Amino acid sequence: MKSHLLCFLLLCFSSLSVAQSLDEQIKAKQTQIADLQLTLNPQVAPLLVTSNLRIWTSGNILALVGNQYNSQANKTVHYHETLQEGQLINSNGGGLGCGYYAELHDASGDITVPVVSATYQPDGSVLLQTSFQANVRGQVAAHMKGPAGPCSILHPWPTCDCPIGGGFGTSALATAIKGASISAIAKLSGDSASWLHYDLGQLSPPSMEVTISFSLEHVGDVGVVAPINLPQSSLAHGDAPNVFQGQGEIKIGAPVNFSKQFAVSVIPTAVVSDAQGYSVKASADISWHNK
């Protein structure tokens, strides 16, 4: 009878011991994982992201994109005059009675920017440094004023404020040639339209002088020094395309008998620029193409 009992107990215990052994192994592995997790936690914590999406670009690559300007085909900024208010110069007196005045018409030309050097700044902007060569041409229409005349009975003495009329006109080619070093700042931002938007402005120096040269009959060579306030607002702006540009798909089966296409839009919620680069936290807007 003892052997019967032994046989039964052996059977029971053998299956029990296998199950117990597995339970112990599972428990031991879970303990190992928990211990490793404690080591991992401080390493992982700085990398964790709380938003749906995050896109980060290094400062180096932002500068690299700026430097790619150097391989662009078109490096020329075109200039043309749209309106003249007042005159280019109004000379009173001088060897020719009341002098002359000149207006500049149809001025146009090119400003060539051959090489750009881009550097990412610790504040999250990109500094672009370059030198340019501007060559502008136009037509000067000059008018030699008539002799001085009296303005009124109360002011009978002739003055150039009230020339008696007459005089003659002349025309000449005007040129303005200028070369200088200049820098600009590209500011980066994100909004609902784009996760990365750049805006190039803040030209430095903020102003410079250009000399418009022309040669007039009876007057000789003239150089008109004109200060230019360089644009501080947007000189150029643009966007980076959606990182998730294109169509995603979820499908099941081979051959496929379930398929849905979708697009992911990035809607920035927070933008951070620092010494390392530019990052955007965003929510993901998933739009289905075939519901």
Residue list 242-271, contact with another protein (CB under 8 A): 242-254, 257-258, 260, 262-264
Question: Who contacts 120 (Cβ-Cβ below 8 Å, separation ≥6)?
Answer: 59, 60, 62, 63, 126, 127, 277
Q: Which stretch binds another protein (CB under 8 A): 25-33, 139-147, 164-172, 215-223?
A: 25-33
Q: How far apart are CA 89 and CA 104, in angstroms?
A: 9
Question: Who contacts 147 (Cβ-Cβ below 8 Å, separation ≥6)?
Answer: 97, 98, 158, 163, 164, 166
Q: Whole-number minimum distance, CB 31 to another protein, in Å?
A: 10
Q: Which stretch binds another protein (CB under 8 A): 28-36, 141-149, 157-165, 214-222?
A: 28-36
Q: Give yes or no for residue 16 binding another protein (CB under 8 A).
A: no
Residue number, 162 or 224, with CB nearest to another protein: 224
Q: How far apart are CA 8 and CA 201, in angstroms?
A: 90
Taking CB under 8 A as the rule, which mask of x and - marks residues 78-117 in contact with another protein? Answer: xxxxxxxxxxxxx----------x--x--x---x------
* Rg of the chain taking only CA atoms, in angstroms: 38
Q: Give yes or no for residue 48 binding another protein (CB under 8 A).
A: yes
Q: Which of 26, 151, 270, 275 binds another protein (CB under 8 A)?
A: 26
Residues 137-176 that bind another protein (CB under 8 A): none
Taking CB under 8 A as the rule, which mask of x and - marks residues 201-220 in contact with another protein? Answer: ---------x-x--------
Q: Give yes or no for residue 231 binding another protein (CB under 8 A).
A: yes
Q: What is the distance of C-alpha 238 from the center of its chain?
A: 6
Q: Give yes or no for residue 232 binding another protein (CB under 8 A).
A: no
Residue number, 152 or 220, with CB nearest to another protein: 220
Q: Which of 16, 61, 115, 173 binds another protein (CB under 8 A)?
A: 61
54, 93, 101, 103 from 224: Cα distances, Å: 54, 17, 12, 11
The alpha carbon dihedral of 50, 51, 52, 53 has a sign of negative
* 195, containing H or E segment: strand 194-204
Q: Give yes or no for residue 39 binding another protein (CB under 8 A).
A: yes
Do the Cβ atoms of 130 and 111 come closer than 8 Å? Answer: no
How many residues of this chain bind another protein (CB under 8 A)? 111
Q: How far apart are CA 188 and CA 143, in angstroms?
A: 50
Q: Give yes or no for residue 13 binding another protein (CB under 8 A).
A: no
Q: Whole-number minimum distance, CB 130 to another protein, in Å?
A: 13
Q: How far apart are CA 130 and CA 121, in angstroms?
A: 16
Q: Which of 13, 16, 60, 161 binds another protein (CB under 8 A)?
A: 60
